[in-house]
Structure formats: C-alpha cells, structure tokens
Amino acid sequence: AAGVIQSPRHLIKEKRETATLKCYPIPRHDTVYWYQQGPGQDPQFLISFYEKMQSDKGSIPDRFSAQQFSDYHSELNMSSLELGDSALYFCASSLGWPLGEQYFGPGTRLTVT
Amino acid sequence: AQKITQTQPGMFVQEKEAVTLDCTYDTSDPSYGLFWYKQPSSGEMIFLIYQGSYDQQNATEGRYSLNFQKARKSANLVISASQLGDSAMYFCAMREDRPTGNQFYFGTGTSLTVIP
C-alpha cells in the first residue's frame, strides 16, 4: 500500500540558510500535518492543512511557513535556520472526514551546522 | 496541564508475555481520537491503533488492543505475545476535533524493551 512520502530524507544546512521539505500524502488523503521531533523528545505539532487550506496551527515559528498544493502535496519552508531547528521533521496524512487514522512519513532529518 | 500523560518512561517485558503501556488524556471536547505509534531506533513513526471517542468497542489490530476507559480518560495499549521486534519507543497521541481545526498532542513516550 502507498505510504506518505517525504523528501529529502536527510538535509544539512548552515545557520541562516533556508530549507524546503516536501510531503506527498497517501492517495485520497486530503489532510496533512507537520511535526518537529527534537532528539529524545516527543513530536511537536507544527501546522496542518485540510483541502489546501490551513486548518490548525501549533508551535510553528514565524520563520517557518507551509502550504498545501492542488495535488495535496505540502511543503514546509524554513528560513533563517538556527542550530535549534536541527530535528526530525515528520509529515503525516489522514482523511479529513471521516476522522480516523493518521499515518506518518519516514521523516526528514534536518541538521543545521 | 499535560494533554497526554505516559507515566512509564521505560518498561521491560519477557518475550511472549503481554504488556500494558499506560496513557491518560485530558480534554473537554466530546469528539477526539486516540492513537498509538511505535518509533523504533531507526526513527520512523509507525501507526499501530486508533480509537475514536464515540467508538463503543475497544480497538484491536492483531496483537495490539486499546483498553479505552472513557470515564477514566485512559487509553492503555496492550501488546500480547511480545516479540523482540517490539522493542521501541511507544507514543500515545490525541487529536481534539474542533470546528476550527484539529489539534494534535503527543505524550512523552514509553521505551519498551523485550527480553529474550
């Protein structure tokens, strides 16, 4: 069965650079969620989209932005990167309705040096 | 207040035994969903089981079952017949369903080690 696809899987950037992470949800899933997981921590919800509209916002820094496109894929744009942004970034997808299971992608490991 | 509480930072279980991982949650919303995920050392987040707040029966998926006690706001994960490959971090999570959108919360996780 098709799963959530994330690219790239690994990314190394320097401080103050920008990064773009991509997420392709499971086919027919219309809702995408972004999470940040620091080393040894639980995932923190950043932002979600339903039918290409932002549906909820968590602890996403102002330096980050995201959008969902017409084909339902989503991109997380991160600017002015800081060392503390080094983390595993997960994308997850689900059906907006009926509400149910949420599946995660393999994650993008971002390292900021 | 913590939305999701997992009080067991680490657990050990003998291979082939059953183990219960605890999870309590805090919400005043009538509609919500409860999830369990497994995260092995490789880092991926693997969906295990889901329980909706209006579901009458406890969810089961193979060796995983969710002991949903709504009045006590608990959603414990039971793994039967533990296998060595079950050694991983386990996260309990909750989705609050609101007209303005859904918020997701994770617990701090329980590290499970299966002993041969």
b/e code B70-101 from CB counts within 10 Å (16+ = b): eeeebbbbbbeebeeebbbbbbbbbbbbeeeb
The per-residue pLDDT for B2 is: 83
Residue A86 at interface with chain B, using a CB cutoff of 8 Å: no
Q: What are phi and psi of A79, to 5 degrees?
A: -120, 165
Query: For B45, which of A99, A104, A109 is closest by C-beta distance?
Result: A104
Provide mean pLDDT across the span A6-35. 96
The per-residue pLDDT for B19 is: 98
The per-residue pLDDT for B23 is: 98
Where chain B has pLDDT below 50, the residues are none
My answer on whether omega of the bond before B99 falls inside 30° of 0, hence cis, is no
Cβ neighbours of A35 in B, within 8 Å: 104
CA distance B86 to B77: 13
The bridge status of strand B60-61 relative to strand B46-52 is unpaired
Look at A48 and B104 and tell me if their CB atoms are within 8 Å.
yes
The per-residue pLDDT for B96 is: 87
Rounded to a whole number of angstroms, the distance from the CA of A23 to the nearest CA of chain B is 15
Provide mean pLDDT across the span A72-88. 97
The per-residue pLDDT for B81 is: 96
Band the pLDDT of A90: cuts 50, 70, 90: very high
pLDDT in tens, A35-78: 999 999 999 999 999 889 988 888 899 999 999 999 999 999 99
Look at A99 and B52 and tell me if their CB atoms are within 8 Å.
yes
- The percentage of chain A sitting over the pLDDT mark of 90, rounded to a whole number, equals 78
Residue A25 at interface with chain B, using a CB cutoff of 8 Å: no
Contact A94, A101 (CB under 8 A): yes
Residue B7 at interface with chain A, using a CB cutoff of 8 Å: no
Provide mean pLDDT across the span A21-41. 94
Residue A98 pLDDT more than 80? no
Which distant-in-sequence residues (6+ apart) come within 8 Å of B56 by Cβ? none
Residue A5 at interface with chain B, using a CB cutoff of 8 Å: no
The per-residue pLDDT for A97 is: 67
